[in-house]
Amino acid sequence: MKKMVLACALALCASTAMSAEIVPIAAGIDLIPGEFVPNRQPDGNSLIFRTPTGLVVMDTGRHAEHAQRILAYAQQAKLPIKAVINSHWHLDHIGGNPRIRADYPGVQVFASAAINDAMHGFLANYRKQLEEAIAQAKDASKTQPWRDEIAIIDAGHALYPDVIIDKTQTRRIADRDFVLHLESHAVTAGDVWVFEPKTRALAAGDLVTLPVPFLDTACPAHWKIALDDLAHADFKTLVPGHGAPMSRAQFEAYRKAYDNLYTCAASSKEKGICIDGWIADAKPLLGNTDPRFVKSLVDYYLDNSLRAPKAKLDKLCGAAPSPAS
């Protein structure tokens, strides 16, 4: 568990900075990119859908500054935030929920119910690790980011959905139709991705992340199936959970890279071959990301996820626990 937190920290340290400018995606849809800066936990991307009656926000980031950008957008647009859709419960996607609720008490939050178990499992463990890290820190001035993480977790029900998405469905939210797709046990136990038929924009959440798939809480087999589901959607632009918007061709390159990595991991091929395979397949999507950094991440996820012990994967894949022997 400790190692996982460290790996996350690593992901932040070495990632390239991404501009926080607003990126237009389609008519009435803008992206507030999640920021990656050295030595800091990331924010996921936020996608904002403007309707005549208000805004629908897909994912709210982690840090106060990210939530502030969403609130500033609403102020500038002179429109209330009517709804939030959370792709999944990772803190870099739900952290801004309490701030948005504070400014817009009528906001409706849509998400799967997976945060329930996460609060008692993964996030409870993570909170414990943060407390330990704070207690052991030699330099108290460096502990603020950990305290901020704890503060998000302690927001408790302000992070939770008001409307639980328990199956794929079309919803009219703020006078606009959204197809909310539910994937079970892919990145988390319940992931929501959104297709907006009018503009054919698709918000994938962390079912698409670069420079590698972030597999910490994932079932690799179901993630592969979820990517096939995304491929069936008639999208024009796909917005990943982290990284720049993708065309269909770019997404197909990502899907192929994932398939190859998954297949390689399931074989007896040595790790280096699988790592090099990902780097070659994903090359057009990696921009100028340091290949050594990508290598270290794939290496980590091969050991800790793709080739993890069956019992760990069974749990993440939602398989019924085998009877105690």
Virtual torsion, Cα 147, 86, 124, 117, nearest 10 deg: 170
Is the CB of 174 or the CB of 246 nearer to Zn ion? Answer: 246
> Could you say which of 44, 61, 95, 220 contacts Zn ion (CB under 5 A)?
44
Is the CB of 215 or the CB of 261 nearer to Zn ion? Answer: 215
Residue numbers 206-235 binding Zn ion by CB under 5 A:
206
User: 34: which DSSP letter?
Assistant: P
- With b meaning 16 or more CB within 10 Å and e meaning fewer, what string describes 45-72? bbbbbbeeebbbbbbbbbbeebbebbbe
Candidates 11-19, 36-44, 160-168, 303-311; binding stretch for Zn ion (CB under 5 A): 36-44
Q: What is the chain's Cα-based Rg?
A: 19
Is the CB of 41 or the CB of 237 nearer to Zn ion? Answer: 41
Is the CB of 94 or the CB of 264 nearer to Zn ion? Answer: 94
Residue with tokens 């709210």: 60
Min dist CB 113 to Zn ion, Å, is 19
CB 238 within 8 A of CB 25: no
Min dist CB 33 to Zn ion, Å, is 12
Q: In whole angstroms, what is the distance from residue 233 CA to residue 58 CA?
A: 18
Min dist CB 93 to Zn ion, Å, is 6
Is the CB of 57 or the CB of 174 nearer to Zn ion? Answer: 57
Is the CB of 90 or the CB of 101 nearer to Zn ion? Answer: 90
Bridge partners (DSSP) listed for residue 180:
169, 194
Candidates 7-15, 49-57, 90-98, 162-170; binding stretch for Zn ion (CB under 5 A): 90-98
CB 89 within 8 A of CB 118: yes
Min dist CB 187 to Zn ion, Å, is 8
Question: H-helix or E-strand containing 196?
Answer: strand 190-196
Candidates 43-51, 108-116, 167-175, 216-224; binding stretch for Zn ion (CB under 5 A): 43-51
**DSSP strand pairing (81-85 vs 108-111):** parallel
User: 240: which DSSP letter?
Assistant: E
> Could you say which of 35, 59, 92, 191 contacts Zn ion (CB under 5 A)?
92
In this structure, is the dihedral angle defined by the CA atoms of residues 196, 188, 120 and 298, taken in order, positive or negative? negative
Candidates 4-12, 39-47, 115-123, 138-146; binding stretch for Zn ion (CB under 5 A): 39-47
Cα–Cα separations (whole angstroms), residue 111 to 59, 167, 263, 264: 10, 11, 31, 33
CB 47 within 8 A of CB 81: no
Min dist CB 96 to Zn ion, Å, is 13
Is the CB of 4 or the CB of 77 nearer to Zn ion? Answer: 4
Min dist CB 210 to Zn ion, Å, is 11
Candidates 122-130, 170-178, 188-196, 201-209; binding stretch for Zn ion (CB under 5 A): 201-209
The footprint of Zn ion on this chain (CB under 5 A) covers a number of residues equal to 5
Is the CB of 190 or the CB of 277 nearer to Zn ion? Answer: 190
Candidates 71-79, 83-91, 165-173, 249-257; binding stretch for Zn ion (CB under 5 A): 83-91
Q: In whole angstroms, what is the distance from residue 90 CA to residue 94 CA?
A: 7
Is the CB of 211 or the CB of 241 nearer to Zn ion? Answer: 241
Residues at the site binding Zn ion, with contacts judged by CB under 5 A: 44, 90, 92, 206, 241
